[in-house]
Homo-oligomer: A and B are copies of this chain.
Amino acid sequence: MSQGVRPTQQARSRETRDKLVRALDEKLRVKAFADVSIAELAEAAGLSVGAVYRRFENKDAFIPVIFELYRERLEAFMAGEGRIEIEPANGLRAALHTACRVAWSFLDKHGYLVRATHIYSRLRPDLVGDDWEAMLDQARQSADQLLDLFGDEVKRQDRVEAAQMFTYLMNTLPIERGIYREEGAAVVLTISDEQFVAAIADTLYGYLVTPDRHDD
């Protein structure tokens, strides 16, 4: 094989992969990954079943793709409409409200991906590998910066713990309502989206400004 062909093949290979990723994205909008068959995916991508197995060893090999999609969307969002301009002068609470509003708008648009990601980060953590941890770590670093920025308002002594908990809360609080809407624990809520977003922002705020407890 002459070397001149490779780039073409690589390009074609990449293209094939992209088709599959797009097809998966489309499918995940309407059904769970477990309910998507390879044949279905192949058809949606305009490929044959055999071609799919040429790119992916087996069905499980698509799971990392879900994360890839998630990350792509998140990065695009953060670089675009999700870019947060924090105004230190307005204080921590305002910053958190802004952050929660932004997080909520991401969930609103890409909830189906967040759902799939969440499910498989639990169901098959082995297949997700470092991607997930890397993303969370990045989130933790952002949290660190935020805590530094409002160091005087934050009353938590242990900054490491605070950054971890902040990340944990940020990835936990809105999700339940954001991706499962009328099911799960969210059914107890009758408040509007706006009220809910404000409430979780206040929850984060409350955690950060509550001084450590000295007993128990």
Contacts and interface: CB of A to CB of B under 8 A. Distances in A.
Kindly name the residue among A168, A202, A207 whose own CB sees the greatest number of chain B CB atoms within 10 A.
A168
Interface residues of A, number: 55
A123 interface: yes
Interface stretch (A11-19, A21-29, A79-87, A190-198): A190-198
A164 B185 contact: no
A202 B207 contact: yes
Nearest to A94: B216
B203 A169 contact: yes
B188 A164 contact: yes
Contacts of A213: 93, 97, 198, 202
Given A93-B213, A161-B195, A216-B94, A133 B187 contact: yes
A205 interface: yes
Contacts of A180: 122
Contact of A121 (B184, B191, B205): B184
A12 to B, nearest CB: 15
Nearest to A194: B216
B168 A188 contact: yes
Interface string A84-106: 00000000011001000000000
Contacts of A148: none
Contact of A183 (B122, B187, B188): B122
A116 interface: no
A177 B122 CA distance: 11
Interface stretch (A57-65, A70-78, A134-142): A134-142
Contact of A206 (B136, B137, B210, B216): B210
Contacts of A169: 173, 203
A207 B198 contact: no
Given A136-B188, A164-B190, 19 more contacts: A97-B213, A121-B184, A132-B187, A137-B188, A139-B188, A164-B189, A165-B203, A167-B185, A168-B188, A168-B189, A169-B173, A172-B172, A172-B173, A172-B176, A173-B173, A202-B210, A205-B210, A206-B208, A207-B207
